[in-house]
Chain A
Amino acid sequence: MASNSNPLDNTPSLRPHTTLHSPTPNTRAWSSRAHPSSAAPLLATAASDKSVHVWDMRDWRLLSTISGGHKRSVRCVGWKDYGRRTKRTRTDTDAGTVGAQEEGQREGQQDPVILATGSFDANCGLWVWNTNNSASEPSQQQVQTVPGSFDEDTDTAEQDFTHTHTPNEADENEEWHFSTLLTGPDSEIKDLQFSPPHYGANLLATCSRDKSVWVWEEVEAEEWETVAVLGEHTGDVKCLGWCGGARTTRAGLRRRLRRRWGEGDADADVDAGGGDEEEKEEEIVLGGRELLASGSYDDTIRLHHDDEAEGDWITIAVMTGHEGTVWDLRFEGHVNLASYPDGTSEEEVIADWEPRLVSCSDDLTVRVWRKELSEKERGEKRMRIAEAKRGQERAGAANGEAAPLQTGFASSRLPSVIRPPTSTEKWVEEASLPGVHVRTIYALDWSAKTGLIVTCGGDGLIAVYRESAASASSAAEDVVMNGTAEHNEQDQDAGDIKKLKTEWRVVAAMEAAHDEYEINHVCWAPVRDQRRQLDAGEVVDSSDRDDEEYIVSTGDEGDVKVWRLPREVLGQIRQDL
């Protein structure tokens, strides 16, 4: 990649969709998150005015403001993700296969909408949306003040900022019901995240300036217990990420592979938005396992998991390499097929694919990390891939013997006796994204839908990166990866997939995205607009909306901005989806 010229020259710009103005202008907003379900088209913004602003993503109105709970800046928000309601549909359930039924979309209405808020007041609050009185009647905005603030006895010496507000009587019609207060960390909560929907337990991770990561479990409805306090970091813990894996379907993978190799009439079902067949097919989760990553002021990233042998949460990997605070990180949730060679089958991809991790830092770099397999793991993976190759040749490979090949999530639910023994993992830096930021990179997100990475920072830049097959010249040096660091000629047996080289390019950017202000947060968000007309003169049909995502950025001036990808980028990624 040419780094001597400015990579942003001739890069297409993001298209502004809308701006959500803070009700308290010129007050820093820290971060925003969209609810994952279409049943709750909500976007929450954490602000330094001690409140959370909740927007309706269908028309971008300010729906409600949750205030009165936290006594200091709200730093982060998170939504509980129920996913598509999953239901075992077969008795001989495949390991790693979770039956996803269409009821999911309908029953999703019944899942409570739960928001977690983390604040500089060292507390984490859980809030439940009162759906009886909510977006169904888009009336006027409500400002909700919680009667009395959280009990705060940890810093009694400090001034109580909340005594200035007038406590209201509890309102039966309140939009947000305060559910639970999680206390324990000694200082500012900096990030939090609910565990992915397919984990065995409902977990919430929080991290704090006190160098700790706390893992909480909902043992009964609205009853949370601390299950782990991880204190290995030597500085503030800035960011967290659960390894959710990639949710996909066999048919989806097959169609994308065919399309990639230009086989068959793949266009037909792509244009139909994936096809009904795919919708009905069982969802599989690749590479999802109970694994938590944390990034810190100590410049390192640590991976933690609940170790059955130890009976406790332990750190299993440490990534060093960043030369500054690690501000944000995210596991990969999209299977990028760019590195798979011609002829790879979906079963081979399923046997091979493992999520990587991306991180950004004060050192102005964005790095992609991958797990380096041990000899034993490489052997096991080769066996799985070889078996997938054989299975592919047999008719009816999709059932029966193909099942044990899953690397899917449910494999971690196997009895401990047949689980691989715990060992530490080695994660290595695989790639560094093109350096386009000149000030601290505060946040990033890795789209589970498109595989695009977006970053933002103190320089007011939003950049979007795409990984694709390397250009012809560099692709000549094909390399066997399979999760190993170096390519070894003798390893290329039946169980190896000869991976192609990929490279990351900046495909879209927005300079001065919040004018002269710093951008504290950026994330991908689903399109929920009711209006079909997204911008002047452009009518977007439903299939367009289905595969498009917004970029949501949150700035120092308090505004939240919603962006669309440039048309040419949408065109590029559609070819691969």
Chain B
Amino acid sequence: MDNRELANANPVVLNPSDLPTRKRLSASQHGEGKSSSIFSFPTTTLSSDPLYHSDVSEASDSDVESDAEDIDEQEIYDLIATMSDPEHPITLGALAVVSLPDISIKPTMPHRPESPLRTVTVLVTPTIQHCSLATVIGLGVRVRLEESLPARFRVDVRIKEGTHSTAEEVNKQLADKERVAAALWNPTLQSFIKKMLETCE
């Protein structure tokens, strides 16, 4: 892999100050640079999320599960945007590989309102259509979220529609729990993921 040519030598890099953060809420509304069209995706807007002010929700809710409700799309974004691209020392957030509007959290069992299970869906936008590392990036994102989130979260990582030539194939692999688990025993993939996580925290 060392002699491999970079799949994308000149990726578009966003200005860090344009990335959505918890501190500047407004940034999440217009900070996505080139991909403004993705706002058609009905993401949860932070300001309208009643649980966004986590301190308040905890106080008002005696349910033990309320802790978990603190986790919102922004938090998911913060977990993965700081990961770096395996071939650039640039974060996935800055490369717009992951973006806030492409993250959603939904009840896993809509017919069971009392169920604490939540499904996190992250759509990954590879830097170029043929990016050979799309699977590795997706794997890294899935692993990062599975390791960071409580067990009641189900993590679905997919390639954003129309952004990759073999998206279907990649999606199937990323959805396969057994393959993901097996991949983590592979030293090459392990080192890739370790590298991606170096820039976190």
Chain A residues with CB under 8 Å of chain B are 6, 28, 48, 72-73, 75, 120-121, 157-159, 187-188, 190, 209, 236, 238, 297, 325, 362, 438-440, 442, 458-460, 511-512, 515-518, 556-557
Contact = CB atoms under 8 A, between A and B. Distances in A.
A434 to B, nearest CB: 14
Nearest to A121: B185
A439 B108 contact: yes
B172 A325 contact: yes
Interface of B: 108-109, 111-112, 115-117, 150-152, 154, 172, 175-179, 181-182, 185-187
A438 B182 contact: no
A73 B108 contact: no
Contacts of B172: 297, 325
Contact of A48 (B109, B115, B181): B181
B185 A236 contact: no
Contacts of A517: 151
Contacts of A121: 185
Nearest to A72: B185
B135 to A, nearest CB: 15
Contacts of B152: 516
A48 B182 CA distance: 10
A208 to B, nearest CB: 11
Given A512-B115, A516-B117, A439 B154 contact: yes
A459 B108 contact: yes
Given A236-B179, A518-B177, A438 B187 contact: no
Interface of A, secondary structure class, is: loop
Given A440-B177, A458-B154, A518-B177, A6 B182 contact: no
Given A438-B108, A556-B151, A460 B176 contact: no
A480 B151 CA distance: 49
B175 A362 contact: yes
8 contacts: A48-B181, A72-B185, A209-B182, A440-B175, A458-B154, A512-B115, A516-B116, A516-B117
Nearest to B191: A159
B185 A516 contact: no
A60 to B, nearest CB: 24
Contact of A159 (B108, B109, B117, B187): B187
Contact of A120 (B109, B177, B185, B187): B185
Contacts of B154: 439, 458, 518
A190 B151 contact: no
B177 A158 contact: no
Contacts of B181: 28, 48, 73, 120
Given A438-B109, A517-B151, A557-B151, A459 B178 contact: no
A556 B151 CA distance: 9
A297 B176 contact: yes
A158 B187 contact: yes
B196 to A, nearest CB: 18
Given A75-B178, A120-B185, A518-B177, 19 more contacts: A28-B181, A73-B185, A121-B185, A159-B187, A188-B182, A236-B179, A297-B172, A297-B176, A325-B172, A325-B176, A438-B108, A442-B177, A458-B154, A459-B108, A459-B109, A459-B117, A511-B115, A516-B150, A516-B151
Contacts of A159: 187
Contacts of A187: 182
A247 B185 CA distance: 41
A209 B186 CA distance: 14
